[in-house]
């Protein structure tokens, strides 16, 4: 298709990133056949080794990819490189994914003749600096022409801080249903029941509560183990917590796992223990692969999943709720089978990546 409009997806990242990368790096392939083409631009700290893994993932997904170092709160060297890239690639749509990319897009809009779109993925990790970041993000988002939210609760939050309803669009995360589908459990797997979890090792994920829940179930005589894939600041604390809970041999922190679908195939059950979330890709991936899910009622999960249909839901922030939910799910094979079947059907119906990108193209059409 001639004269396709160029969309620049921009995101600041540390390490190998997280869930939004699955959406951004898949976009190029799934925009084929539309009037839009996309380029993924990642801003990163100097020397961050994770950017090489993202570049490899981009090549695998056939996504044009640009990495730019970004050292300061506002890095004018980065802005210059972004301006030159926009001019060279004839970019017409800037699609930001966080506070920094939203700020840079607003700063470059007149110079480069850009139309502004952002996706709100959620504000989950709290540090001393995050109130400033959130304030910057809210200021920018109110000035963007179209705002995509991955969950209904984020859509409501954006409306509450001043984004006009006619600029808001709820478009949930989506799954490549061919990549993520049921497969046999790997040979030579543990005979224990394997509880899986995936996410950044940080306090909002509630992995400490999940470890405590596993310890309680082991003390009741259940033969199970917990596998958590992901990297983060809380790794040492979680290892120590497992040791103090006397289940160090039953908790495996796997670090970064490139083969996500293969990882899920090794799980018997999946648990989302988060305190705060948007709509996490990892839950959608587990559902697509027909892994029964226990999830906390956090953020987008509350409005997304129907309890005992697509997933078993429990209260967030409660060790006891996780314990009771896992116990019930492990003891009820019929419930496991029903959840797996219904969840896969829901993903196929409502969360295919091809359908998501068609909806996103319609958002671009409105600019």
pLDDT digits (tens, 9 = 90+) for 205-261: 999 999 999 999 999 999 999 999 999 999 999 999 999 999 999 999 999 898 899
Query: Average pLDDT in the 27-53 region?
Result: 94
pLDDT tens profile 287-340: 999 999 999 999 778 888 999 999 999 999 999 999 999 999 999 999 999 999
Identify the domain containing residue 36 by its residue range.
Answer: 5-174+352-365
What ranges in 123-206 are assigned the alpha helix state H? Answer: 130-141, 152-160
Q: 132 and 208 share a domain?
A: no
Q: 125 and 269 share a domain?
A: no
- Does 183 fall in a domain? no
CATH of the domain at 236: 3.40.50.2000
- Does 327 fall in a domain? yes
- Does 186 fall in a domain? no
For residue 254, give the DSSP letter: E
Q: What are phi and psi of 280, to 5 degrees?
A: -70, 135
Q: 316 and 233 share a domain?
A: yes
Q: 206 and 115 share a domain?
A: no
pLDDT tens profile 157-177: 999 999 999 999 999 888 888
252/216 Cα distance (integer angstroms): 17
Q: 48 and 163 share a domain?
A: yes
118/140 Cα distance (integer angstroms): 9
Query: With 60 as the cut, is the pLDDT of residue 1 above it?
Result: no
pTM, to two decimals = 0.76
Number of domains in the chain: 2
What is the per-residue pLDDT for 149? 95
- Does 356 fall in a domain? yes
Q: 134 and 198 share a domain?
A: no
159, with CB counted inside 10 A (0-12, 13-18, 19+), is middle
Half-sphere exposure of 179 (CA within 13 A, CB side): 16
- Does 185 fall in a domain? no
Q: 106 and 81 share a domain?
A: yes
- Does 179 fall in a domain? no
Q: 112 and 220 share a domain?
A: no
213/254 Cα distance (integer angstroms): 19
Q: 155 and 233 share a domain?
A: no
- 221 sits in the region (left: phi over 0; alpha: psi -120 to 50; else beta) called left
What is the per-residue pLDDT for 124? 60
Q: 162 and 14 share a domain?
A: yes
Q: 169 and 209 share a domain?
A: no
- Does 320 fall in a domain? yes
Q: 335 and 300 share a domain?
A: yes
Per-residue confidence band for 126, with pLDDT thresholds at 50, 70 and 90: low
């Amino acid at each position: 298709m001639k004269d396709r409009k160029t969309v620049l997806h921009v995101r600041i990242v540390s390490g190998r990133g997280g869930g939004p990368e699955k959406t951004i790096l898949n976009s190029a392939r799934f925009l084929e056949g539309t009037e839009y083409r996309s380029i993924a631009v990642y801003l990163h700290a100097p020397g961050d080794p994770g950017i090489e893994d993202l570049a490899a993932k981009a090549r695998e997904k056939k996504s044009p990819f640009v990495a730019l170092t970004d050292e300061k709160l506002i890095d004018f060297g980065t802005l210059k490189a972004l301006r030159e890239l926009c001019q060279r690639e004839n970019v017409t749509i800037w699609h930001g994914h966080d506070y920094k990319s939203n700020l840079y897009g607003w700063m470059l809009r007149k110079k480069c003749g850009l139309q502004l779109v952002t996706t709100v993925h959620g504000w989950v990790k709290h540090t001393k600096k995050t109130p400033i970041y959130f304030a910057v993000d809210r200021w920018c988002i109110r000035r963007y022409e179209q705002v995509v939210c991955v969950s209904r609760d984020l859509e409501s939050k954006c409306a509450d801080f001043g984004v006009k309803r006619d600029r808001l669009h709820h478009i949930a995360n989506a799954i490549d249903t061919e990549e993520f589908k049921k497969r046999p459990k790997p040979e030579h797997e543990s005979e224990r029941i394997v509880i899986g979890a995936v996410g950044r090792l940080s306090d909002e994920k509630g992995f400490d509560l999940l470890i405590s829940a596993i310890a309680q179930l082991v003390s009741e005589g259940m033969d199970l183990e917990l596998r958590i894939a992901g990297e983060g600041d809380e790794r040492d604390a979680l290892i120590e917590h497992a040791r103090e809970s006397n289940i160090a041999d039953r908790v495996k922190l796997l670090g970064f796992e490139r083969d996500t679908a293969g990882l899920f195939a090794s799980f018997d059950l999946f648990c989302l223990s988060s305190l705060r979330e948007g709509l996490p890709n990892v839950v959608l991936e587990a559902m697509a692969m027909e892994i029964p899910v226990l999830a906390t009622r956090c953020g987008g999960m509350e409005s997304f999943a129907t309890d005992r249909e697509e997933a078993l839901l429990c209260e967030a922030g409660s060790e006891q709720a996780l314990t009771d939910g896992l116990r019930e799910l492990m003891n009820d094979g019929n419930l496991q089978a029903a959840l797996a079947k219904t969840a896969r059907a829901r993903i196929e119906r409502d969360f295919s990546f091809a359908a998501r990108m068609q909806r996103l193209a319609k958002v671009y059409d409105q600019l």
